[in-house]
Structure 1
């Protein structure tokens, strides 16, 4: 496999994970996949032998040494498509393909519902190289899986209550945890240090802020079900093959990040104000976040439908 393809997706966590959908197709096309991303996202691929990760600090991206190391690839895939990657294209040269981001249509969908239509970022990534179907896939080593099964067991429900923006953060996960525990299910919480503060005192096994990024895929893979917001760890669950429940707030499936039917399900109120922002930023114009007013019993019942037995 002499040809090399550089997949460019600098951030954020979920978007970077979803680029894994193109790794196997690139191998089928005769390329060795490389991934250019910002630190620390490359750690997610620590066990994935299919791809070589080139991980850089944001401040180093356009330094002479970095640019020199990025030259000479047979194919460049721009799966970020912003001003920084445009500048990379100008500086590196070579053969570039970029995905159909539908930037204008998605922004218009925030304000005009006539522009709300089905769209999948994963399918858009794949269509860049001529593939119609495929799924994100993260490989996790047997050694890492065995290590975490010895520590945690398996078959638990993994819940990630955090999200970068308040409009994407479902506020009733604690009640969902209690409902699951009352029915005899084990619950493991995952997230970062901020999520640790948020979940202080919650029941269940709290691993928020305790895991290395390279270990998170293994912990999620050993779960029977993952429940989370429209955020990065949800896409890790998709990529390791764990059934998911995705809870929507201020965003919407039309923006491209909804789970597919075979991956699980998503819950959305379907209010006229959804989506209210491309990324879920900002404050709620109603001050009450009605989009997140989904009864925890609904999330619990959805979980029971997806859990084995």
Structure 2
């Protein structure tokens, strides 16, 4: 999800700087709301678990796409599925992203420790390779969405600053320990409204417990569509997130994003778009010198599982207060 969300500010810049282009984004239908306010951009949904599953499904998908007669194709994913699709699609120009896999291996093996090219710039480089330079230095963002009556009743924000918190990530090594996050929520909810984001039964149950423990705390997990969640996020004063999709959704909407990093690190290039360096709260590398242990947070020594705990709750709270 984060990879898809990171394409949005790049496509926004591309379409503004090259308004003659018409863009078709091939992605899962679930992600369609990400592109809802981009001009000259349409979404073609890929059903990779159903109609378009496997090699025969990709062949069927290619036949459907070929009817559109694309001038160029930009592969921003560069995985086996997109490589197979390339063999079936009729198009003279096809360029794939350079993910910098070698540099990232050096970073996670400890052979180098420096900032690598951001994923946003890697996306922009693909379009530059097609002849469409993209300048990301002066970004624009959509306006805050006027909340529907349903969302106003849910959020119930009376003049308090609105802080979003998304405490979960795909891998445990990327998460801030929940007992510490509870301390953060408790402190922030004293003077602000805290809105919790998550998904699935397990996450909803934990966030319900947070909601029931503190005033001014609302759990939206499992209650809204992605479209509606984006509407709420667009109205936040700040989002607190792990190195995960919610950080990139908030950033693409122009919201300030504080991120907590465990076994991953911003140097790999996944910092949320247009966020200052000091908005990323990093695990203590004196205590955890192997960070980053992997790019996606799925590989780490057992004693690194709670590397992010080296960021004190007080530090998180003070950083957010300094912004709002």
Same fold (TM over 0.5): yes
**Hey, what's the Cα distance between the residues in 1 that align with 2:218 and 2:244?**
21
Picking from 263, 273, 278, the partner of 2:290 is 273
Segment drifting more, 241-250 vs 255-264? 255-264
Separation of aligned partners in 2, 1:177 and 1:256: 28
Preserved contact between residue 110 and residue 274 of structure 1 (Cα < 8 Å): yes
**CA-atom RMSD, angstroms?**
2.5
How many angstroms does 1:65 deviate by? 3.6
Match of 1:105 among 86, 92, 103: 103
Show CA shifts across 1:65-112 (max 9, x none).
421221211121111011111111121141112222101111221112
TM-score normalized with structure 2 length? 0.82
Q: Runs of 5+ in structure 1 lacking a partner?
A: 1-12
* SS of equivalent to 1:31: coil
Contact 2:145 2:231 (8 Å CA) reproduced: no
Q: Separation in 2 of the partners of 1:255 and 1:132?
A: 21
C-alpha distance in 2 between matches for 1:140 and 1:69: 34
Partner of 1:152: 155
Q: 2:62 aligns with which of 67, 72, 75?
A: 67
* Alignment match of 1:223 (pick from 204, 211, 236): 236
Partner of 1:8: none
Q: What are the equivalent positions in structure 2 for 1:17-28 lying under 5 Å apart? A: 17-27=5-15, 28=17
1:86 aligns with 2:83: yes
Pairing partner for 2:310 from 275, 281, 293? 293
Number of the residue aligned with 2:130: none
CA displacement at 1:216 relative to structure 2:
1.5
Structure 1 135/219 Cα, relative in aligned 2: closer, same or farther at 3 Å?
farther
Alignment of 1:245-264 (within 5 A): 245-259=258-272, 260-262=274-276
Secondary structure in structure 2 of the residue aligned to 1:58: coil
Report whether the alignment pairs 1:190 with 2:207. Answer: no
Distance 1:144 1:261, change over 3 A: closer
1:172-187 equivalences under 5 Å are 172-182=180-190, 184-187=191-194
> Offset of 1:181 from its aligned partner?
1.6
Instruction: Extract unaligned runs of 5+ from structure 2.
Output: 128-132
Residue-by-residue CA offset, 1:117-150 (whole Å, 9 max, x unaligned): 3321011111222224258877578455676346
In the TM superposition, residue 233 of structure 1 has moved relative to its aligned partner by: 0.5
Deviations 1:26-61 (A, max 9, x none): 433221111111242224334545421111221333
